[in-house]
Chain A
Amino acid sequence: MKKDLLSISDLATDEIYRVLDTTEAMREIGQRPIKKVPALRGKTVVNLFYEPSTRTRTSFEIAEKRLSADMLSIAVGTSSAQKGETLADTALNLEAMAPDMIVLRHASSGAGHLLSRICKSRIINAGDGMHEHPTQALLDAFTIREHKKRIDGLKVAIVGDLLHSRVLRSNVLLLTRLGAEVWVCGPTTLVPTGIEQCGVRVSTSVAEAVADADVIMMLRIQQERMQGAFFPSLREYFDTFGMTAARVALAKPDVIIMHPGPMNRGVEIASDVADGPFSVILEQVANGVAVRMAVLYLLAGGQEGD
């Protein structure tokens, strides 16, 4: 493994499989009466979250505790960043206290790369702006593999706000690498320029994108990142791109519906689909802890070629 996990492209294909296989073993720990192993005893992990997060932060915290790491979370609302300290200065000050790993969530794309250059600690990107969210993609791949027993050759339709989504970018890199046929779908205004160069098919028709799909992955409409009008109204968006039972019926009969959360019910996904029989949304959350345990464990060791 490289020093840091900033992007899916930091992982070689065999390392991706190593993460997924390790996740399998880590998941069993969560089913024990005592959900704790001593693997990261004495390691210090700092969770540095500059953006609100429930799932990802809780998931990392539980993963760290299950591996017996000493962990602390810094919610930036209560930190010196409020007094004007820059990210780099905050990082250097944290670094002075010698943590082994820093888990970073930041609103700016590339924030992890900045930290990676100035810190000796290992950096795990827990979402940087509109760039990447590698552990989310890994848990998605794990969930898909669990249901379909493979990823190679599957048709995966990713529908929603493509432009602002770091989950999209990490998933496209990961799923195309593992041989899936990835379709992305959203209003033209929310399709990133040049996305087809990543080896995906682009469509503005949900019907075309989800036809015979094995997996449908919904992305949240990220209103907090939208400056300007990308579509006329949320109501119209739902009518054109919202995942309804009728649209799900176009996919394979054993399709799974995924969503990285948080969901906007009635915007990108209908409630009966989100809670319906094809939905694996809560399984994704459960698998998130095991994936993060695997990543923390694998990164805590030595580097290749040390």
Chain B
Amino acid sequence: MDADRIGRTLTRIAHEILERNRGIEELALIGIRTRGVPLAKRLARTIRDINDPLTPLRADLSLPKVEIPTGALDITLYRDDLMRTAIGAQPVIRKTEIPFSIDDKRILLVDDVLYTGRTIRAALDALIEFGRPKAIQLVVLVDRGHRELPIKADYVGKNLPTSLMQSVQVHLTEIDGRDEVEILES
């Protein structure tokens, strides 16, 4: 997937989110670190712009934009393999930043690649400790299959059938300087 394709995909997902949730009421996005975070921010902007017909006018009239609450979640401490192997240094933990209450919100959980489903399991456990959302929906840019847990995405950018020997690498401008999804043979 190239930059253009990623952009269109995110726009399509934004439309699907609005269709399914009938607007932005109670919506909030939470990106899973690392690459879910910029994806969540992009989706938040796109959803806002689609939903608010005044978007182009607001800038001219210097009206404040209606922002959709967006947060970042680090799931490292919830990983099921955290203490399994006593090899090497501990994984780096980064900050979880959810600057709003998730109670009674419709949470869109955003990640780049859906694979075994274990990250999402950890993210669900982590999220529940912040409150009781009305619903949690899962958004992923790429679904590469090989699930090990009963988890399914609500919005999928692209289904990429892969073999276990391959790895899927998502690059995003905010972190990697370019937008691209590539499959690497290992």
B-contact bits for A188-231, CB 8 A (1 contact / 0 none): 00000000000000000000000000000000000000000000
Contact yes or no, A25 B96, CB < 8 A: yes
Chain A interfacial residues counted at CB < 8 A: 29
With the chains together, A100 CA to B83 CA distance in Å? Answer: 12
Contact with A along B79-112 (1 / 0, CB 8 A): 0001101111110111111000000000000000
**B90 to A297, Cβ gap below 8 A?**
yes
CB of B93 within 8 A of CB of A32, answer: no
Closest CB in chain B relative to A290 CB, distance in Å: 11
Residue of A nearest to B86 (CB): A302
Residues from chain B with a CB closer than 8 A to the CB of A32 are 129-130
CB-CB contacts below 8 Å: A13-55 with B = 18, 21-22, 24-26, 28-29, 32-34, 36-43
A33 to B93, alpha carbons, bound, how many Å? 20
Q: A25 contacts B88, CB within 8 Å?
A: no
* Secondary structure call for the A interface: loop
CB pair A39 B82 closer than 8 Å: yes
Knowing A32-B129, A34-B129 touch, does A306 contact B88 (C-beta < 8 A)?
yes
Instruction: State whether B85 touches A36 (Cβ < 8 A).
Output: no
In the bound assembly, the distance between CA atoms of A33 and B103 in angstroms comes to 11
8 Å CB contact of A25 from B82, B83, B94: B94
Which A residues are in CB contact (< 8 Å) with B182?
none
The answer, yes or no, to whether B68 is at the interface (CB within 8 Å) is: no
Q: Decide if A270 is an interface residue (CB 8 Å cutoff).
A: no
Residues of B within 8 A of A298 (CB): 89-90
Is B93 touching A1 in the complex (CB atoms < 8 A)? no
Contact A302 B129 (CB under 8 A): no
In this complex, what residue of A is CB-closest to B131? Answer: A33
B83 touches A300 (CB 8 A): yes
Given known pairs A32-B130, A33-B129, A38-B125, the reply for A1 and B89 (CB within 8 Å) is: yes
Say how far A133's CB is from chain B's closest CB, in angstroms: 23
Q: How far is the CB of B67 from chain A (nearest CB, A)?
A: 21
Measured between C-beta atoms, what is the minimum distance from B58 to chain A in Å? 32
Contacts of B97 in A (CB 8 A): 28
Asked if B86 and A306 sit within 8 Å, CB to CB, the answer is yes
Q: Which of B76, B90, B95, B129 contacts A24 (CB 8 A)?
A: B95
Among B85, B90, B96, B131, contact of A28 (Cβ-Cβ < 8 Å): B96
B87 touches A306 (CB 8 A): yes
Q: Determine the distance from Cα of A303 to Cα of B85 in the docked complex, in whole angstroms.
A: 11
Q: Report chain A residues within 8 Å CB of B125.
A: 38
- B129: contacting residue among A36, A43, A297, A304, CB under 8 A: A36
Residues of B within 8 A of A43 (CB): 83
A84 at the interface (CB under 8 A from B): no
Closest B residue to A15 by beta carbon equals B89
Name the contact of B78 in the complex, choosing from A25, A38, A300, A301 (C-beta under 8 A): A38
Q: State whether A302 and B88 are in contact (beta carbons under 8 Å apart), knowing that A28-B96, A28-B97, A42-B83 are contacts in the complex.
A: yes
Q: Given the complex of chains A and B, what is the CA–CA distance between A300 and B85 in angstroms?
A: 11
Question: How distant is the Cα of A303 from the Cα of B88 in the complex, in angstroms?
Answer: 6
A243 to B18, CA, bound (A): 62
- 15 more CB-based (< 8 A) A-B contacts, given A28-B96, A301-B86, A302-B89: A25-B93, A25-B94, A28-B97, A29-B96, A33-B129, A33-B131, A39-B82, A39-B83, A41-B83, A67-B77, A301-B89, A302-B85, A302-B87, A302-B90, A303-B86
Q: 8 smallest A-B Cβ distances: which pairs?
A: A301-B90, A39-B77, A37-B77, A34-B129, A25-B93, A302-B86, A302-B87, A25-B95
25 A-B Cβ contacts within 8 A? A1-B89, A1-B90, A18-B92, A21-B92, A22-B93, A28-B95, A28-B96, A29-B77, A29-B96, A33-B130, A33-B131, A34-B129, A36-B129, A37-B77, A38-B78, A39-B82, A297-B77, A297-B93, A298-B90, A300-B90, A301-B88, A301-B90, A302-B85, A302-B88, A306-B88
